[in-house]
Structure 1
Amino acid sequence: MLTQAKPEDEAALERLIETAFVAYVRALGRDWPGPYPWLPEAIAQGRVLWIDGAKGCAVIDRDGDALKLDQIAIDPAYQGRGTGRRAMEALEGLGRRAGFAQITLYTAQVHTDLVAFYSSLGYRVTDLRPPASGKDDIPRIHMTKPLN
């Protein structure tokens, strides 16, 4: 279900992320997702994973004892079909196998559907704060799930 992205995947990943995030960023008051100047480095560091072929992608990182999910993007053609749920299960399994105690993520407060989705998977709210990026002032809900 999860495979490592390669440098030659950069353009395809950008298209996928943009397609998946249009509605998300419009709710934040922006017209279009991106740009993604961080993507080549994240790919080179092995932090970008394809989900189920090219149905989505995830960007992960380490944050102490946590596997941090920086971003998950599911192609809109596969949203609502269980792809996101299966991807989250696969990411949690990856975290367990790597010895992480928990997995963390965040989403914009205005996306109550995403908060409900992650809550249904066992994630709990740990914090509410403005985004570190400064691109908007919409608070982000930070969530955590134990992996043991």
Structure 2
Amino acid sequence: MAIRSASLNDWESICALVDAAYSPYIEIIGQAPAPMLADYQRCIQSQPTFVIEEENEILGLLVLEVSEKGFYIENVAISPIAQGRGFGKQLLLFAEAFGVEQGFSKIELYTNELMSQNIAIYNHYGYQETARLEEAGFKRVYMSKSLSRSTQN
């Protein structure tokens, strides 16, 4: 598996991957999850956006946000055909290493409160819940993790 920066040539594959990864949640949360509504052409052009691939097939996506407010994982998505194979873990570790390289001491993310499996995964990798808010019609669970060179494993 290889992680690389996304290009506009990846846009259609990224959109298909996001739709496949998040469509099972439509019934659970009663609407399309926020990542399904994102403009991935804009993300590729303006944010650190990465894909993980195997044999030239994009199997995962990582969109980061770096701002004066902090360092965030905006989206991590894994194709259903690749779930359970460690791709998500690799993208999380990549995001954390990226944050350390950029000088951040904390990484943050949010997920929908009804995506309990995602919350459990993030907890497993050391993310702690910091808030629950309703924004843009979504009930979100905010989480964060302290970063240091010694926490990268």
Above 0.5 in TM-score? yes
**Alignment partners' CA distance in 2, 1:13 and 1:95:** 23
- 1:147 matched residue in structure 2: 147
**Alignment partners' CA distance in 1, 2:147 and 2:53:** 22
- 1:17 matched residue in structure 2: 18
What amino acid is aligned across from residue 69 of structure 1 in structure 2?
Answer: I
TM-score (normalised: structure 2): 0.84
Q: Measured at CA, do residues 111 and 35 of structure 1 come closer, stay the same or move farther in structure 2, by a change above 3 Å?
A: closer
**How many residues are aligned here?**
143
- 2:96 matched residue in structure 1: 92
Unaligned runs of 5+ in 1: none
- 1:105 matched residue in structure 2: 109
- Partners of 1:17 and 1:73 within 8 A in 2: yes
What amino acid is aligned across from residue 21 of structure 1 in structure 2?
Answer: Y
- C-alpha deviation, 1:31, in angstroms: 5.9
**Alignment partners' CA distance in 1, 2:134 and 2:69:** 23
- 1:8 matched residue in structure 2: 9
Unaligned runs of 5+ in 2: 149-153
Percentage identity across paired residues of the two chains:
25
- Partners of 1:129 and 1:139 within 8 A in 2: yes
Aligned Cα root-mean-square deviation (Å): 1.9
Secondary structure at 1:100's aligned position in 2? coil
**Alignment partners' CA distance in 1, 2:61 and 2:32:** 22
- C-alpha deviation, 1:41, in angstroms: 1.5
**Alignment partners' CA distance in 1, 2:107 and 2:19:** 24
Tell me: higher relative CO, structure 1 or 2? Use CA pairs within 8 A at least 6 residues apart: 1
Which of these residues, 29, 43, 61, is aligned with residue 57 of structure 1? 61
Q: Which has the higher helix share?
A: 2
**Alignment partners' CA distance in 1, 2:139 and 2:128:** 16
What amino acid is aligned across from residue 2 of structure 1 in structure 2?
Answer: I
- C-alpha deviation, 1:46, in angstroms: 4.1
What amino acid is aligned across from residue 112 of structure 2 in structure 1?
Answer: A
**Alignment partners' CA distance in 1, 2:127 and 2:145:** 5
Q: Which has the higher strand share?
A: 2
TM-score (normalised: structure 1): 0.87
- C-alpha deviation, 1:39, in angstroms: 1.6
Post-superposition CA distance 1:38-88 (Å, at most 9, x none) = 221111124221024411001111143632111111001111122111211
- 1:34 matched residue in structure 2: 36
Q: Measured at CA, do residues 51 and 129 of structure 1 come closer, stay the same or move farther in structure 2, by a change above 3 Å?
A: same
- Partners of 1:5 and 1:46 within 8 A in 2: no
